[in-house]
């Protein structure tokens, strides 16, 4: 056999950029417990999140946005790995991990929490589920907290067990979510309060249902235990219950989460961001008055006393409509300019279909984070003008996801 040099030729054309390259499907990356089920609905784009394929959308992110606002949606969030902490010292250990005071978290309650490093940087922002006095799940965003927690436990002397549970969540979200959930579990599902949880058996499957989600809409998450065995069956069961209500399968609706001021770890916040820089509603995530110590308490006490030098601001951005964020239209953060100097960056941005304008978050010097400050932002279409505005952009009090459910129509209607 003779080697053919042409076989190994590579293009030397510097303009040979493939604008939308494929993602490789192969055994090395992990699969959600629902991977084979959600795939059948026509996943059009994956990314990788917690070392796992993450369905981003199914062909039309804008249609998915409207389905979320007006109907009911099903979302594969099996990428949210569940770190389970148990053992006699589980409460003390978990309370050390997070800046919120978990003495105020009852069994059966959920909390949105930051996990902070010793310098106050945000390592992750999971939803915490308290399943027992000494039994917690951390429903992770995208970073390796299992290794962090195990490393801390190794030298802590505490009696805890830390594992990744065989659990996978799906989200059922949208104004008709209550009707689908009632069809699955009965109307006592409406008794679950906002950020509360309850255990159920569903056709022989053990599940935890919580009134949580990543959409700022009415909705639930269903965490199936023994997910590697029951994941696909749970998906099919939920889908069968949802079809009569027009259920649509969607990916993460970043347009809606940006409207709501919901953060994305790895984009809006990282280990280089401290909670006080997030500002505008997230300061309550740090309880410096609690008696217990937590990792980062000393640093965050100092930072609060000294003040921060930058802050995450809401911005309205001019120019032509941006993309949907999860469509590959924002490859990099957008540079922010003021007075001819680069002063920060836009961490998330999109075109809001309902507001009919571009919106986003920008990390800028504190002095430039005041409402009404004019900025210039470098977008793919060129440099455009922008202005700092209040965030969240829609429903700042979260009245929509907090509202009570009723039987019949599935939920009460409130003015947004």
pLDDT in tens, 247-273: 999 999 999 999 999 999 999 999 999
Name the DSSP letter for residue 301. H
* Cβ–Cβ under 8 Å, residues 162 and 387: no
Do 128 and 136 touch, CB atoms closer than 8 A?
A: yes
- What percentage of the chain reaches a pLDDT higher than 70? 93
Domain limits, CATH 2.40.30.110, in the chain: 265-388
Give CA–CA dist 265/249, Å, rounded. Answer: 23
Q: What six digits make up the tokens of 350? A: 């999109």
Residue ranges, comma separated, of all CATH 3.30.1360.120 domains in the chain are: 30-79+167-255
> How far is residue 407's CA from residue 400's CA, in Å, rounded to a whole number?
17
Binding site: residue ranges? 221
> Which residues sit opposite 145 in a β-bridge?
none
- Give pLDDT, residue 404: 85
Quick one: which of 24, 64, 26 has its CA closest to 326? 64
Architecture in CATH of 30-79+167-255: 2-Layer Sandwich (3.30)
- The pLDDT assigned to 19 comes to 84
Q: For residue 360, count other CB atoms closer than 10 A to its CB.
A: 28
Tell me which residue of 188, 209, 214, 206 sits closest to 197, measured CA to CA: 209
Amino acid 15: pLDDT: 76
- Given this model, what pLDDT does residue 103 score? 97
SS3 category, 195: coil
The closest alpha carbon to 200, from 68, 191, 142, 25, belongs to 191
Cis peptide bond upstream of 220, omega within 30: no
What one-character-per-residue DSSP string does 226-242 give?
Answer: SHHHHHHHHHHHHHHHH
Q: Residues annotated in the binding site for substrate, as ranges? A: 221
Lowest mean pLDDT segment, chosen from 21-25, 331-335, 351-355, 403-407: 403-407
Tens-digit pLDDT profile for residues 297-350: 999 999 999 999 999 999 999 999 999 999 999 999 999 999 999 999 999 999
314/294 Cα distance (integer angstroms): 30
Domain 265-388: which topology?
Elongation Factor Tu (Ef-tu); domain 3 (2.40.30)
The CATH 3.30.70.1400 domain(s) of the chain lie at 81-158
Cα–Cα dist 91/133, whole Å:
7
Tens digits of per-residue pLDDT, 383-400? 999 999 999 999 999 999
- Give whole-number Cα distances, 370 to 177, 365, 390, 394, in Å: 38, 10, 9, 19
pTM, rounded to two decimals: 0.93
227-242 and 177-185 are packed helices; what angle lies between their axes, rounded to 10 degrees?
120
The third-level CATH classification (topology) of the domain covering 81-158 is: Alpha-Beta Plaits (3.30.70)
Q: Across-strand partners of 86? A: 135, 161
The Cα 165–Cα 3 span in angstroms is 50
**Residue pointed to by tokens 């770890």:** 265
């Amino acid at each position: 056999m003779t080697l053919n040099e042409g076989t190994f030729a590579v293009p030397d054309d510097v303009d040979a950029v493939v604008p939308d390259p494929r993602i490789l499907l192969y055994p090395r990356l992990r699969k959600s417990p629902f991977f084979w089920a959600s795939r059948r609905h026509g996943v059009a784009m994956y990314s990788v999140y917690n070392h796992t394929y993450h369905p981003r959308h199914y062909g039309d992110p804008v249609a998915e946005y409207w389905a979320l606002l007006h109907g009911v949606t099903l979302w594969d969030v099996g990428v949210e790995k569940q770190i389970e902490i148990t053992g006699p010292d589980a409460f003390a250990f978990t309370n050390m991990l997070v800046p919120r005071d978990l003495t105020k978290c009852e069994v059966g309650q959920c909390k949105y929490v930051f996990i902070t490093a010793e310098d106050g940087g945000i390592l992750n922002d999971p939803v915490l589920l308290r399943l027992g006095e000494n039994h917690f799940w951390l429903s992770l965003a995208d970073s390796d907290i299992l290794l962090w927690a195990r490393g801390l436990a190794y030298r802590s002397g505490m009696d805890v067990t830390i594992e990744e549970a065989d659990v996978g969540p799906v989200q059922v979200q949208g104004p008709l979510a209550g009707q689908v959930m009632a069809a699955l579990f009965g109307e006592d599902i409406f008794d679950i309060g906002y950020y509360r949880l309850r255990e159920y058996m569903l056709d022989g499957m053990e599940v935890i249902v919580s009134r949580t989600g990543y959409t700022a809409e009415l909705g639930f998450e269903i965490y199936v235990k023994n997910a590697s065995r029951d994941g696909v069956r749970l998906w099919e069961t939920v889908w069968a219950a949802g079809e009569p209500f027009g259920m649509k399968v969607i990916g993460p609706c970043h347009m809606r989460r940006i409207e709501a001021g919901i953060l994305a770890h790895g984009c809006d916040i990282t280990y280089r961001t401290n909670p006080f820089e997030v500002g505008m509603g997230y300061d309550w995530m740090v309880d410096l008055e609690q008696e217990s110590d937590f990792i980062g308490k000393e640093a965050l006490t100092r930072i609060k006393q000294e003040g921060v030098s930058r802050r995450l601001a809401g911005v309205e951005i001019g120019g032509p409509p941006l993309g949907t964020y999860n469509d590959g239209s924002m490859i990099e953060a957008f540079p922010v300019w003021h007075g001819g100097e680069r002063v920060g960056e836009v961490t998330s941005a999109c075109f809001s279909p309902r507001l009919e304008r571009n919106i986003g978050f920008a990390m800028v010097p504190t002095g430039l984070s005041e409402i009404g400050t004019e900025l210039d932002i470098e977008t793919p279409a060129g440099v455009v003008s922008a202005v700092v505005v209040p965030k969240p952009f829609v429903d700042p009090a979260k009245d929509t996801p907090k509202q009570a459910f009723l039987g019949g129509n599935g939920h009460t209607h409130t003015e947004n």
